[in-house]
């Protein structure tokens, strides 16, 4: 039997690759004769570079950039041929700032996305003509201003048109973990309240700041018009513009094409080629109302469904019923029992899906 472990990150495991390896170890305890393929997937957030480095068999290059609080932090640059893969979370992830700073009354004040711009600059210096920026949840919520400033847009962003012109010969891709727009009732600021418990007065203030930012940017870079309708194409309303507190918006301003992060990774590493005829195991920290629609689990399940391969979900927390999973082609969902780690969970599930013949 062939088993493909196309899982995402788990809360209690450092990175999606380590999680997939532990699942593989557990599966092998029960079914050592199965061919188990470790093929972790990232949605553009945590583990984006790690997953691609594993799949493409390329060693990332260490760099040092400015973190969200202004201190230097280590990051990585993954270069393959003319393409550079970057992970915004390595430069401005929430793990790089104190929890009370990113969720309290003064949430995100002074936190910057400058390091993300420094990562892009490092990719350009390395000669990349195609830059893929994976971006998920970040500590910074500055509308991507710090990123643009690091690329030479100036403190007031007056040189933003110059920066965009300089990048015209570079293909930019924004692999976003969420389709959030920058502004509005379902935008980046509003999501801080629903996802992280940031007080309403703070999210409202941040929403106002994002509105003022877009007004300033639209004066510098007047929005293009749709050729069919004649309506303005507002970059702040584009899918993925709100990811990373506006880093997605900054990337789109520079000409980036937004794509669904997990779908991009699946295509980039050629995962669809190993799915036919296999049992596809996906999963992550949670299988809930949000991850049943966005992220690694639904994208892997859809890829399996397209080739007629059965898929199952192994998640640390399951909050959706069988009916929701059936729409994705998911055949079953399993969460750890008391005292079980990921390896033990995989071992138990293997007993159901890979029963061993008795001698």
Domain ranges, ordered by start, for the chain: 2-39+275-353, 48-263
Closest by alpha carbon to 50, among 26, 71, 21, 28? 21
Angle between helices 261-268 and 48-56 (to 10 degrees): 10
Confidence of residue 233 (pLDDT cuts 50, 70, 90): confident
Q: How does pLDDT run across 88-113, given as a tens digit for each residue? A: 999 999 999 886 655 554 556 689 99
- Is 240's pLDDT higher than 80? yes
CATH class of domain segment(s) 2-39+275-353: alpha beta
Whole-number Å distance between alpha carbons of 288 and 316: 11
The pLDDT value recorded for residue 149 is 98
The pLDDT value recorded for residue 230 is 73
Instruction: State what percent of residues in the chain have pLDDT above 90.
Output: 84
The pLDDT value recorded for residue 108 is 60
The pLDDT value recorded for residue 5 is 98
The pLDDT value recorded for residue 339 is 92
- At 202, list the tokens: 């703070």
The pLDDT value recorded for residue 358 is 56
The answer for residues whose C-beta is within 8 angstroms of residue 230's C-beta and 6 or more apart is none
Confidence of residue 321 (pLDDT cuts 50, 70, 90): confident
Closest by alpha carbon to 248, among 144, 138, 109? 144
Confidence of residue 61 (pLDDT cuts 50, 70, 90): very high
- At 192, list the tokens: 């801080």
Confidence of residue 223 (pLDDT cuts 50, 70, 90): confident
- At 166, list the tokens: 């300089």
Tell me the average pLDDT across 219-247.
89
- Is 357's pLDDT higher than 70? no
The pLDDT value recorded for residue 106 is 54
The pLDDT value recorded for residue 102 is 58
Helices (H) and strands (E) in the chain, counts: 14, 11
Q: What DSSP string describes 171-205?
A: EEEEEES----SSSTTSHHHHHHHHH---HHHHHH
Average pLDDT, rounded, for the chain: 93
Closest by alpha carbon to 120, among 156, 179, 69, 164? 164
* Domain at 48-263, CATH from 1.10.730.10, 3.90.1510.10, 3.40.50.300, 3.20.20.20: 3.90.1510.10
Confidence of residue 317 (pLDDT cuts 50, 70, 90): very high
Closest by alpha carbon to 328, among 274, 273, 262, 257? 262
- Is 145's pLDDT higher than 80? yes
Q: How many CB atoms lie within 10 A of CB 86?
A: 27
The pLDDT value recorded for residue 224 is 82
**CB 38 within 8 Å of CB 17:** yes
Tokens 């018009």 correspond to 225
**CB 136 within 8 Å of CB 127:** no
Tell me the average pLDDT across 56-76.
97
The pLDDT value recorded for residue 161 is 97
Q: How many CA atoms lie within 13 A of 358 on its CB side?
A: 0
Q: How does pLDDT run across 14-48, given as a tens digit for each residue? A: 899 999 999 999 999 999 999 999 999 999 999 99
């Amino acid at each position: 039997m062939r088993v493909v472990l196309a899982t995402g990150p788990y809360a209690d495991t450092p990175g999606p690759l380590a999680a997939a390896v532990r699942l593989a170890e557990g599966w092998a305890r029960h079914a050592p004769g199965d061919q188990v393929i470790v093929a972790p997937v990232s949605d553009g957030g945590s583990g984006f570079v790690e997953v691609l480095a594993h799949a493409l068999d390329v060693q990332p290059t260490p760099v040092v950039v400015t973190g969200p609080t202004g201190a230097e932090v280590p990051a990585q640059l993954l270069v393959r041929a003319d393409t550079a893969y970057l992970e915004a979370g390595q430069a401005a992830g929430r793990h790089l700032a104190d929890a009370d700073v990113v969720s309290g009354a003064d949430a995100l004040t002074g936190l910057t996305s400058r390091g993300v711009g420094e990562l892009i600059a490092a990719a350009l210096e390395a000669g990349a003509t195609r830059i893929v920026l994976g971006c998920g949840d970040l500590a910074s919520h500055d509308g991507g201003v710090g990123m643009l400033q690091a690329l030479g847009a100036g403190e007031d962003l007056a040189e933003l048109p110059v920066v965009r012109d300089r990048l015209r010969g570079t293909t930019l891709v924004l692999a976003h973990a969420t389709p959030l727009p920058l502004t509005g009732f379902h935008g980046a600021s509003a999501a801080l309240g629903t996802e992280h418990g940031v007080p309403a007065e703070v999210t409202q203030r941040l929403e106002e700041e994002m509105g003022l930012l877009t007004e300033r940017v639209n004066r510098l870079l007047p929005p293009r018009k749709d050729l069919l309708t004649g309506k303005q194409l507002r970059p702040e309303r584009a899918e993925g513009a709100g990811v990373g507190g506006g880093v997605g918006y900054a990337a789109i301003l520079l000409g980036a094409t937004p794509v669904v992060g997990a779908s991009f990774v699946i295509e980039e590493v050629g995962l669809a080629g190993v799915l036919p005829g296999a049992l596809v195991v996906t999963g992550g920290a949670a299988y809930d109302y949000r991850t049943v629609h966005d992220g690694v689990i639904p994208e892997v399940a859809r890829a399996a469904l397209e080739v007629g391969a059965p898929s199952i979900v192994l998640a640390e927390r399951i909050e959706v019923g069988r009916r929701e999973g059936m729409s994705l082609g998911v055949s079953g969902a399993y969460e750890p029992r008391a005292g079980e780690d990921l390896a033990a969970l995989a071992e138990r599930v293997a007993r159901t899906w890979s029963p061993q013949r008795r001698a």
